[in-house]
A and B are shown apart, each in its own frame.
Chain A
Amino acid sequence: MKLLTHNMLSSNIKGVTAGYPLLIEPQITTTTEVPINPNFLRHIFPKLDYSALVAAAKTLGFSDLPETAGVSDLEDEGFLKRFHHALLELKLEEGALVCPESGRRFMVSKGIPNMLLHEDEV
């Protein structure tokens, strides 16, 4: 699971109102090389919760992202590369995503997070 997806996921358990962003408990993290597409990065940037991305990247061991960033930062090639790396090249293979409100853990196994809710969470 890459951080672009983590940025979109939340704990939607019945009764939970603050289920985003999910905290990450990484066990195995990998890095893959992905060709960079600046157009895509510019298109997706406004849709993201940037601070959640920065925090998630830190948990996976990548602290090179600036704490805040705006659309104009995307013109800077250095920032673009680091943004791209955090968003699309870091991958969580094994671990858990934790609901910040209830503490409920969503397991990540073989790179796939299990977001299915149990019968009493629906």
Chain B
Amino acid sequence: MWYLCVFYHRLLDYRKPEVEALAELFGGGGSPSSHHRLRWKLPEHHHPDSPFHFVDLPSEHIARSIANRSILVKGIYEVWGEGSSYEELEEAISCYPEERKSPYLVACTTFKVNIDSFGKAVSSGVQQERIQRLTFIPFKGRVDLRNPQHKFWLMETDDYGSNNGLPPMVQKTIFFGREVGTADRKLLPTYQLKSRKYLGPTAMDAEMAFLMANQGLADPGKLVYDPFVGTGSILVAAAHFGAMTMGADIDIRVVRDGRGPDCNVWSNFKQYGLPEPISLIRADNNLPPWRAGLQEVFDAIICDPPYGVRAGGRKSGGRKLLKGAVEPYTVPDDKRAGHIPSTAPYSLVECVHDLLEVAAKMLVMGGRLVFFYPVLREDEVAETDYPEHPCFRLVASCEQILSFRYSRVLLTMVKIAPYTEAIAETARKMHLDFKENHLKWLEEGNLHSAVFTPIDLLSDSSGDSKLWKELKPKYRGKYV
């Protein structure tokens, strides 16, 4: 059945993939190996960035589950009528089947009508006036403004001109619908990083962590792994949704006490009354400590790998790799206990290669790999430019613009083929190639300089690149 799905107007690329992931979680979306996706429809005359979309969901129960668990769905509604004027709307509502309306209008129920206007604030006087126009609907129940059983929404969008940063609207649309479910945005102030006990410089923002956990289908009974766990911000979101978690990091911050015995990664979970991770390990994802033959243990791997822009990745090896022909450094026995192994820079290419390998091996069939991948905005990045692996199918790519020059894209991949010996062999060869040609791999695609070089050194002679045109966008598009 078609429902109206109204999104919060932010993180535009993330909106539909979240609903599709949750549809799969709650049984409405078909399996990832079939290419069955949800059916979406734009209201007439609406721009694809509009917050209003129709979606076909199998039942109201599934629609409610999706909405209530989501972060970006302002509401899912059963539409009783739509029109470009109040006369058209009244006509449409009157024609809507009685048997769909009457259960929600009966005398023994409570209800409330909310007014919403996208892109424009509406005074309470105007709101009252609009509510009055709905008196033709035979509401027999009692009004309860605090905690009504049924919530109705009268939503309006209009053509507000093109200079205000909102998606272009061609004409006014009015919807009237019954609320089926809404996102619980109160999660965000509860989990906001501002009040997090122990933070690191790359701790994942709470809203984004929840979106990642939704893309990964975190749920009770599932085991979620983060190989770049840092201060645990992504695992906190997964734990909130009931998953069991495990994390690893090469960085000593995972091991250190933080700022005291009550200020470390473990206390980040205690702070919210969440079960702590099964384990945190100090380990190198380039040389993981897993036993041979261990496969298909994790239901999801959700992480934010280091891309070398604000935080550079490290891997084991240190001085031996950098100096090439120097004899391997042997730690004197008396120093072994406290020795902190030197590490070498870890290029993005090798980091992502290792991540895909670990995921291909350790994820169950149908399990999800969700991770951020950085892109330079001046390159036209097509889906084919994203990392690939024979065990995975890409199901979503969501761009978040970080600066004038670069974005990060949240990639969601599903494991569709088992990890074979042939794949392992290819990986071993690649691992050796990275080791042998260490410097070459470091230089290729070095993002740090591309992002931080002063701008006049970057512009080409014509000064006419795509980015310059966007300097003062009239329509903000993905900048929300």
Interface residues of A (CB under 8 A from B): 1-2, 4-5, 8-12, 19-21, 34-35, 37, 39-40, 43-44, 47, 49, 88, 107, 109-120, 122
Contact = CB atoms under 8 A, between A and B. Distances in A.
Contacts of A40: 221-223, 244
Interface residues of B, number: 44
Nearest to A4: B278
Contacts of B222: 40
Interface stretch (B314-322, B420-428, B471-479): B314-322
Contact of A114 (B255, B279, B297, B329): B255
B291 A39 contact: no
B259 to A, nearest CB: 14
B295 to A, nearest CB: 8
Interface of B: 220-223, 244, 246, 250, 254-255, 257, 264, 266, 275, 278-284, 287-292, 294-297, 316-320, 328-331, 336-337, 339, 341-342
Contacts of A21: 291
B284 A37 contact: no
Main secondary structure of the interface of B (DSSP, over half): loop
B280 A9 contact: no
B282 to A, nearest CB: 4
B342 A113 contact: no
A15 to B, nearest CB: 12
A109 B288 CA distance: 19
A116 B341 contact: yes
Contact of B294 (A2, A34, A47, A122): A47
Q: Which of B244, B255, B279, B284 counts the most A-chain CB atoms under 10 A from its CB?
A: B279
Contacts of B342: 119
Contacts of A112: 254-255, 279-282
B244 A8 contact: no
B330 A116 contact: no
B294 to A, nearest CB: 6
Contact of B317 (A9, A109, A119): A119
A19 to B, nearest CB: 8
Contacts of A44: 223, 297
16 contacts: A4-B279, A5-B278, A12-B287, A110-B257, A111-B279, A112-B255, A112-B281, A113-B281, A116-B250, A116-B283, A117-B287, A119-B317, A119-B341, A120-B330, A120-B331, A122-B287
Given A8-B297, A118-B336, A119-B342, A1 B281 contact: yes
Nearest to A10: B291
Contact of B292 (A4, A20, A47): A20
Contacts of B316: 116-117, 119, 122
A39 B329 CA distance: 48
B221 A39 contact: yes
Contacts of A122: 287, 316-317, 320
Contacts of A111: 266, 279-280
Contacts of B223: 40, 44
Contact of B278 (A2, A10, A115, A117): A2
A50 to B, nearest CB: 14
Nearest to A11: B289
A118 B280 contact: no
A88 B294 CA distance: 19
A113 B282 contact: yes
A66 B279 CA distance: 25
Given A111-B280, A117-B316, A118-B336, A12 B289 contact: yes
A14 B279 CA distance: 25
A5 B282 CA distance: 12
Contact of B339 (A43, A109, A118): A118
Nearest to A88: B278
Contact of B221 (A20, A43, A110, A117): A43
